[in-house]
Amino acid sequence: MSEEVFKITATWDSAQKKGMLVNEDGSLKIPHGGAASLGGGHGIPNPEELLLAAVSACFVQTWAIFLGKLTVPIEAPVLDGSCELEKDPAGGFRITKLDLAPYVPTALWESRRADVEKTLSLAVRYCIVSKAVKASVIFTVTPKPV
């Protein structure tokens, strides 16, 4: 039996080529549409960005937990994320790679690299959303000294 169940209602307006995502309590309301590069519109998130956002949000939150537990002084963690699409031989496209680049102050990276790497490794291991996607795509985390 599930420990926790999260629900989203997704709608789509075929004429306008956009839709809405709403969670059960209404605290999340996000418009969505197709990627402009794939024939969709501009100005609203596409599913690929939403997946990347979910992975990025989960990872940065999980990383923050381990930064605190291991007393690694990054008080406001930041990361950049990207995802890559390729043509799917079966038709259409598919996400083949998700890459996260957590910002790490250069001085901290040089003085406590092993500790920073441990926090990142633990975040990879425990981030719920990245665990769900990494079985089907290449998933990398590369620190970005800043």
Kindly list the domain boundaries of the chain, sorted by start residue: 1-45, 55-145
pLDDT digits (tens, 9 = 90+) for 86-127: 999 999 999 999 999 999 999 999 999 999 999 999 999 999
Section 58-67 average pLDDT: 98
Joined tokens for residue 89: 């031989």
Section 11-36 average pLDDT: 95
Joined tokens for residue 38: 């794939």
Rounded distance, CA 5 to CA 104, Å? 34
Joined tokens for residue 7: 């629900």
- pTM greater than 0.75 (yes/no): yes
pLDDT at residue 31 greater than cutoff 90: yes
In this prediction, residue 67 carries a pLDDT of 98
Taking CA 97 as the corner, what is the angle to CA 20 and CA 70, rounded to the nearest 5 degrees? 90
The phi-psi region of residue 56 (left if phi > 0; otherwise alpha if psi is between -120 and 50; otherwise beta) is: alpha
Section 44-70 average pLDDT: 97
Joined tokens for residue 21: 């995502």
pLDDT at residue 137 greater than cutoff 80: no
Rounded distance, CA 45 to CA 62, Å? 24
Decide if domain 55-145 falls under CATH 3.30.300.20.
yes
Rounded distance, CA 11 to CA 49, Å? 17
